[in-house]
Amino acid sequence: MVNADAVRGQVLLEESREAVVVLDAAGRIVLASRRARQALGVREGDELGPELLQSERALVVPYRVEGRHERLVYLSEAGDLAAYEELRSGFTAAVSHELRTPLARLLALLELAALPGEDVAELVDQARREIDAIRELIDEVLFLAELESGSRVVSLGAEPVLPVLEEVAEELREQAARAGVSLAVEGDADATAEVRPRMLRVVARNLAENAIRYAGPGASATLSVRREDGAVVIRIADDGVGVDQEDLSRLFERFYRADRSRHTRGTGLGLAIVKHVVASAGGTVEASGGRGKGLEIRCLFPVRTS
C-alpha cells in the first residue's frame, strides 16, 4: 500500500522552486528536486561535493527516518543570494536617505526655536508637520513590507468600486484645493473588483494623492472606473505637467520620484504600494503620458468568471 505522506513529500520536493536534495548517511543523493537536477546537474546516487555542503549557499537539516541518518539540503543560487543582499542593502539605504531629509529639517526648526525673537508657535507647527512626514514614511514602509511578505490579504470578494472612489475624493477635496488641482470622479456604478475595501481605498487614495502632489496648480484630475475587455480598470488621468517618457516605466519603483528637485512632499512609496496591491489581486498597472501632456495611470483588475 502506498504511503500518502511519502507521495506528498516526494511531489513537494520534486516541484520545489529551490534546489533541494536528500542525502543518506554516506553523503549520496537519495532524492533531488527538478531545480537541483537542472541547476547542479546532479542525480540520485551522486555525491554532493563538500565545497557545496560547506558553502554559504547550503542550509543543512539533519533528521532520522526508520533508524537511518539523512540530511535535507537547501542550496540557494549564488546569484539569488547576491541579488537579495543587494536589494536589501539598497532598500535600507533608500529608507535612511528618505528619513534624513525630514529629520534634518526638524533639527533646524528646533535650533531656530532656541533663538531669541523667533515665532516658537509657528516653528512647533512646522516641526509637527515634519514628524507627520516621518510617521507617514515609516507607516508606508511597514505596509509595503507586509504586502511583499504576503501577510496582508488583498483579495476577498467582489466590491463596488465607484462608492470608494467617491469617498476618497471627498476626503481629499481640501488637499486638492490647497494644491490648486480639481479632482473629479466618474465611472460605472456596477463595476466591482475582487479587492478588500481597505485595499481598494489604498489604491484610490494613492492614485489621487499622486495627481494632487505632482500635476501642478491649475490641473484637473479624474478618478474613474470602467469595465473593459474582461477587466475592471481604475484610472487616474490629469492634464498637468506630466513626466518625461523615460520616467514612465520607473514610476512604480520604491522611492522613485520624477520630481528630482523634491519640491513636492511625498514618501515616494505610493505608486509602489498601488502596484503591489493590484499585482496581489492578479492585476497589472500601466502609466502613459509625457512632459506637458499630463499623466494617466491605469490599474487593471481581472474579472473572475464562475
**Which CATH number does the domain housing residue 42 bear?**
3.30.450.20
Q: Which residues contact 170 (CB under 8 A, 6 or more apart)?
A: none
Report mean pLDDT in 10-residue bins for the chain, 306 residues: 65 72 86 76 77 72 84 67 48 60 81 86 85 72 60 62 93 92 93 82 89 92 91 93 84 66 55 83 87 92 70
Together in a domain, 57 and 68 = yes
Together in a domain, 164 and 298 = yes
The region, left, alpha or beta by phi > 0 then psi within -120 to 50, assigned to residue 210 is: alpha
Together in a domain, 179 and 265 = yes
Centre a 10 Å sphere on the Cβ of residue 2 and count the other Cβ atoms it contains: 6
Together in a domain, 144 and 184 = no
> pLDDT value at position 280?
78
- Domain containing 107: what range? 79-149
Together in a domain, 69 and 83 = no
Together in a domain, 129 and 46 = no
CA angle at residue 199 from 198 to 200, to 5 degrees?
A: 90
Together in a domain, 206 and 218 = yes
The full DSSP string for 11-51 is HHHHT-SSEEEEE-TTSBEEEE-HHHHHHH---TTPBPPHH
Phi, psi of 175 (to 5 degrees): -60, -40
Given 27, 55, 76, which residue is the final one in a domain?
A: 76
Together in a domain, 189 and 94 = no
Give dist(CA 217, CA 272) in Å, integer: 24
Together in a domain, 165 and 296 = yes
pTM of the model: 0.54
Together in a domain, 133 and 207 = no
How far apart, in Å, are the Cα atoms of 96 and each of 134, 141, 148, 214, 255? Answer: 11, 11, 20, 23, 11
Residue 99, exposed/middle/buried by CB under 10 A (0-12, 13-18, 19+)?
middle
Given 120, 149, 178, which residue is the final one in a domain?
A: 149
Burial 270-306, CB ≥16 within 10 A → b, else e: bbbbbbbbbebbebebebebeeeebbbbbbbbebeee
Give dist(CA 210, CA 270) in Å, integer: 7
Q: Which residues contact 30 (CB under 8 A, 6 or more apart)?
A: 22, 23, 24, 44, 70
Give dist(CA 142, CA 83) in Å, integer: 21
Together in a domain, 199 and 245 = yes
Work out how many domains the chain is built from and give that number.
3
Specify the CATH number for the domain of residue 280.
3.30.565.10
Q: Which residues contact 222 (CB under 8 A, 6 or more apart)?
A: 183, 184, 185, 186, 235, 236, 237, 238
Given 121, 149, 177, which residue is the final one in a domain?
A: 149
Together in a domain, 100 and 168 = no
**Which helix (H) or strand (E) segment is 287 a member of?**
strand 284-289
> pLDDT value at position 140?
63
